[in-house]
Structure 1
Amino acid sequence: MASRDLAMAVVYFSQTLMGTLGNFSLVCHYTCLHFAQCRLTFTDQILQHLFVANSLVLLFRGVPETMAAFGLKDFLNDLGCKLVFYVHRVGRGVSIGSTCLLSVFQVITISPGNSRWAELKLTVHKYINIFIIFFWILHLLLNTIVLPNVTDKLHHKNITYNKEFGYCSRVSQQNSRKVLHAALLSLPDALCVGLMLWTSSSLISILYRHKLRMRHIHKTNIPSRVSPETRATKTIILLVSTFVYFYTLSSIFQAFFTLYNNPNRFLVNVAAVITGGYPTVSPFLFMNHYSSISSLAPDCVRNKKLVML
């Protein structure tokens, strides 16, 4: 095994292990709370699906990449390749959609009474499950277009017409179909990224205006103490920056691989690591940002209803 392949195998394995443990721990956490009939928030509903989707991304992309990097060849048949690519892309799409929905829900929840979001406060919680189901159905249907074009490496030996991904191959298509598929697969991602940037900008603006209104209160605090609005704003900027960074790069690589044949193996490796970036780090960011993840248990007996925040 070449030193570069060994290094990539270690990177894949470490990323997959850390990310899977992080997401699975939170999935198990919410599962236990559900069976214990603990109080859950609408934010928690979104996060449950986000962590499940993240786990699918890591398992169905990270594990095959790790096995291929360790030197295992042709370990997936045609059905296995189709399943791996399909489930990975569905998980990726739901992960993006859930993060976008979380951003929208947050800005509606904290918006002041005179803002453009205020009228949605009383009704938005009714549509949370509808939007979550919509994201799952959308990506389950949309990503069926990748199934006919993915196969194992043994079925098609002519590398001129194939795209090599280490453990599977993707059959090349006509240029018109390449552009159409790239647009269909990238459009939902682009819309979600744009919507998340917009809502997050609104959220930061709301927090900043609130900080200005409460300045006279903050002046009575210790000068070196950072205000709650500042801490929240920095955390939101971190979450948005992490999301946009990883998924913008991932979308660019995805469009590139759709349009061009025989991508460089190094670029394929980089794309795989980037694709697993956000699913790996997001559970740890949410552990730090959403205190309800670690503080729900004490409230189980006192309140068993679903609440807004």
Structure 2
Amino acid sequence: MKLCDLLLAIVFIIQIGIGLLGNAFLLFLYILTFLTGHKLRPIDSICVNLTIANLKTLLFKGLPQTIFYLGLKNFLYPIGCKLIQYLHRVSRSVSLSSTCLLCGFQVITISPNNSRWFQLKVQAPKHIIPSCLFCWCFYLFINFTMLGIMNNSRFMSNSTRWWHLGYCSVTAHDSFSASLYIIIFFLPDVICMAFMIWATAYIIFILYRHHQQVQHIHHPHISLRTFPEIRATHASLLLACTYVSFYSINSIISFCAFQFVIYHSFLMSTKQFIAACFPAIAPFVL
């Protein structure tokens, strides 16, 4: 085993260990709250959905990559490789849509009484669980197309490109163009990210305006960081910026690797590490 592979394995073990412990502890708290008879808040259902998606993302992507760096290469058969990639993409997309749903629910919650969003405050909690289920069903269907473009090696031809993932290798025909790849895989995610950015900007605007309106009732010697609206603004900024940053970098690397058939060990290691960053730190942000 090479020294660099051993160091990468240690880095991934630390990252996955922190992420699994954090998400498992957060999920345990929600389950304990439910079992003790306490009623979960509507927003807790979204957090539970996000936590489950993050756990699956770490398991389906982080663990195979760690095993690869520990020296076991190409240990997944084609069917297992397809299944791992499919489940990872579903979990990753549900994580994004759950974060988007969380931002949307925050917009409805803090909207003023004279806003158009105010009418949804009563109805929104009733649609949270169906919305979470819809996210899973939608991305299970959308990402099912991935199974169609990953062909068995016995059907290889000169017009077929390889995706080397380390722990396995998958194939796709050149006829599967980049534009179709964007429409199927990236367009729904881009829509979610655009809405999340808009929702976060709207939340910041509402909280800033509220802070300006109630500023005269705060004690003059209290630090701005202690104001609840300032803390909520920082939390919204942190959650949105964290996901948008990691997702954007990972998507750019993934698209370049697909379009230009780029394979570099350091580049792919960076891509895998960035893909697992948000699921690992999300419970601590929450």
**TM-score, normalising length from structure 2?**
0.92
Q: Which moved more, 1:11-20 or 1:222-231?
A: 222-231
Q: Deviations over 1:126-165 (max 9, x none)?
A: 2112211111001101111112344788997999731211
Residues in 2 aligned to 1:21 and 1:155: alpha-carbon distance in whole angstroms: 42
Could you say which residue in structure 1 is the equivalent of 2:173?
Answer: 173
The sequence identity of aligned pairs, in percent, is 38
Q: Secondary structure at the match of 1:113?
A: coil
Q: Secondary structure at the match of 1:238?
A: helix
Q: Deviations over 1:147-198 (max 9, x none)?
A: 2344788997999731211011121322453430232100111111100010
Residues in 2 aligned to 1:152 and 1:64: alpha-carbon distance in whole angstroms: 20
Task: Give unpaired runs (5+ residues) of structure 1.
Answer: 287-309
Q: Secondary structure at the match of 1:171?
A: strand
* 1:246-285 → structure 2 map (5 Å cutoff): 246-285=246-285
* 1:152-171 → structure 2 map (5 Å cutoff): 161-171=161-171
RMSD: 2.2
- Amino acid in the other structure paired with 1:59: L
Could you say which residue in structure 2 is the equivalent of 1:51?
Answer: 51
* 1:53-202 → structure 2 map (5 Å cutoff): 53-150=53-150, 161-202=161-202
Instruction: Confirm whether residue 213 of structure 1 aligns to residue 213 of structure 2.
Output: yes
Residues in 1 aligned to 2:64 and 2:152: alpha-carbon distance in whole angstroms: 12
Residues in 2 aligned to 1:262 and 1:83: alpha-carbon distance in whole angstroms: 23
Residues in 1 aligned to 2:202 and 2:223: alpha-carbon distance in whole angstroms: 27
Q: Which moved more, 1:67-76 or 1:271-280?
A: 67-76
CA contact (8 A) 1:175 1:259 kept: no
- Amino acid in the other structure paired with 2:221: I
Cα 1:4–1:150 change in 2 (3 A) is farther
Compute the displacement of 1:252 (Å). Answer: 1.8
- Amino acid in the other structure paired with 2:75: F
CA contact (8 A) 1:77 1:152 kept: no
Could you say which residue in structure 1 is the equivalent of 2:221?
Answer: 222
CA contact (8 A) 1:107 1:199 kept: yes
Aligned length: 285
- Amino acid in the other structure paired with 1:258: F
**TM-score, normalising length from structure 1?**
0.86
Q: Secondary structure at the match of 1:166?
A: coil
Compute the displacement of 1:16 (Å). Answer: 0.9
Cα 1:152–1:21 change in 2 (3 A) is farther
Q: Secondary structure at the match of 2:58?
A: helix
Residues in 1 aligned to 2:81 and 2:17: alpha-carbon distance in whole angstroms: 21
Residues in 2 aligned to 1:143 and 1:279: alpha-carbon distance in whole angstroms: 19
Residues in 2 aligned to 1:283 and 1:63: alpha-carbon distance in whole angstroms: 19
Residues in 1 aligned to 2:157 and 2:274: alpha-carbon distance in whole angstroms: 28
CA contact (8 A) 2:200 2:240 kept: yes
Higher relative contact order (CA 8 A, sep 6+): 1
